[in-house]
Amino acid sequence: MVKKQFLIGLVSALCVTQTIANEPYQASERAIRIAQENLLIDTHIDVPYRLNDDWEDVTVATERGDFDYPRAVAGGLNVPFMSIYIPAQLEQTPGASKQLAHQLIDGMEALAYRAPHKFALAASPDQVVQQQQRGVISIALGMENGSPIEGDLNNLYTFYNRGIRYITLAHSLSNHISDSSYDIRKQWGGLSPFGKTLVAEMNKLGVMVDISHVSDDAFWQVLEISKVPVIASHSSLRRYTPGFERNMSDEMIKGLADNGGIIMINFGSSFVTQQANRYRAMLKRKADAIIEQYGEESAEAKQALAEMEAKNPYPFATLDQVLDHIDHVVDLVGIDYVGIGSDYDGVGDSLPVGLKDVSTYPNLVEGLLQRNYSEADIKKILGQNFMRVWREVEEYAAKH
């Protein structure tokens, strides 16, 4: 029982309320201006599933979560790609993935219709630009996990018509489209036969292919098939998290750049540093040793577990460590292949010091300035790189 209670507490510890005070990052007026005046796109924010599970009115300031309208305005966010996240296990129940996807899209439509002076749906780069000029935030839609396609291209067309503009082929388990980086079962050796058909059809329709979450073999197969640039909507670099397949290796980043695609850096600490990535496994090893020494039900075990937790707080990454990921992509393949895919509202209380919610993008800009990035380069990272990819995908679809 003690061990079970500890493991429950361990999971909860990753989602506790942020308590770090006096963060050591302060954006300059120049950084704030750059964030406010230029197109800022974040390709992965998990608001739809958060609101489905625990509703709040994000058109005004909220007590929970990483996103609401006032904070988005403060951060300069123009285009949050709202994640239509579908839990992997739902694929075991026919129709459940598709049902949830439609419900989550309904929620984003309702958000835009309820506050048209604050939000508007966006299905194209041109709409994004027009709505930026009008001063409203564009809600774009990406589907995280392709399971709602259910092996039927008609569902792809339906979701395209509802505004889905990228699809993450798989999530935490392999599905009918692709193997997952998290799943030890590599049932397809990459993409399934239907997955290969789907990638080609997404190209023709104008839906971006998102390779975040897929296995390495699936990634390389996507690059062989796709006629247009692909995206990693919320991934970081394996260089800083050795052995973590969910992140991308240097060779994969080079392949992505050769394809013309783009990696959008995930802010979650477990994606950013090896220490945070291995934190849960480290705590479990320490807990197992304590329980083996004292016994599962003993008072000594309870006291030792409590002391161990207090001595091993979660190792939040820092803004500077996030910047290291951006630096490495730029050094490896150039400035044109990197952007922002924060995973706000998707990684719990694991966000770096200095990047705790959508109001903090100016801190990122400040860090880039301090690392001698030009304003022209910062504009590319904030949104221009992604807009290039989106337009190329649209242009190919228009011809096919």
Look at residue 9 in the predicted model and tell me its pLDDT. Answer: 42
Q: Tell me the C-alpha to C-alpha distance, in Å, between residue 118 and each of 112, 165, 246, 359.
A: 8, 21, 35, 16
The residue written with tokens 């419900």 in the block is 103
Amino acid sitting at position 216:
D
Dihedral sign, CA of 149, 235, 172, 242? positive
pTM for this one? 0.91
Determine the Cα–Cα distance for residues 145 and 181; give it in Å rounded to an integer: 13
Q: Collect all residues with Cβ–Cβ distance below 8 Å to 122 and sequence separation of at least 6.
A: 79, 128, 131, 138, 139, 140
pLDDT the model gives residue 10: 40
Based on C-alpha coordinates, what's the Rg of the chain? Answer: 21
Integer distance in angstroms from the first to the last C-alpha of the chain? 60
* pLDDT of res. 281: 74
Eight-class DSSP state of 314: -
Which pLDDT score is estimated for 21?
A: 37
Is the CA virtual torsion 125, 325, 280, 309 positive or negative?
negative
Question: Using an 8 Å Cβ cutoff, are 325 and 272 in contact?
Answer: yes
Q: Which tokens belong to 237? A: 């670099």
Single out the residue of 98, 256, 79 nearest to residue 165, CA to CA. Answer: 79
CA distance 319 to 373: 15
Q: What is the pLDDT of residue 23?
A: 62
> What 3-state class would DSSP assign to 237?
strand
Q: What is the pLDDT along the chain (400 residues), one digit of tens a residue?
A: 433 343 334 433 333 333 333 467 889 999 999 999 999 999 999 999 999 989 999 999 999 999 999 999 999 999 999 999 999 999 999 999 999 999 999 999 999 999 999 999 999 999 999 999 999 999 999 999 999 999 999 999 999 999 999 999 999 999 999 999 999 999 999 999 999 999 999 999 999 999 999 999 999 999 999 999 999 999 999 999 999 999 999 999 999 999 999 999 999 999 999 999 998 877 778 777 778 778 878 887 788 778 777 888 899 999 999 999 999 999 999 999 999 999 999 999 999 999 999 999 999 999 999 999 999 999 999 999 999 999 999 999 999 9
Q: How many helices (H) and strands (E) does the chain have?
A: 18, 9
Whole-angstrom distance, CA of residue 123 vs CA of residue 162: 9
The amino acid present at 30, given as its one-letter code, is R
Give the other-Cβ count within 10 Å of 322's Cβ.
Answer: 29
CA-based nearest residue to 90, from 78, 102, 75, 100: 100
Contacting residues for 398 by C-beta, under 8 A, at least 6 apart: 206
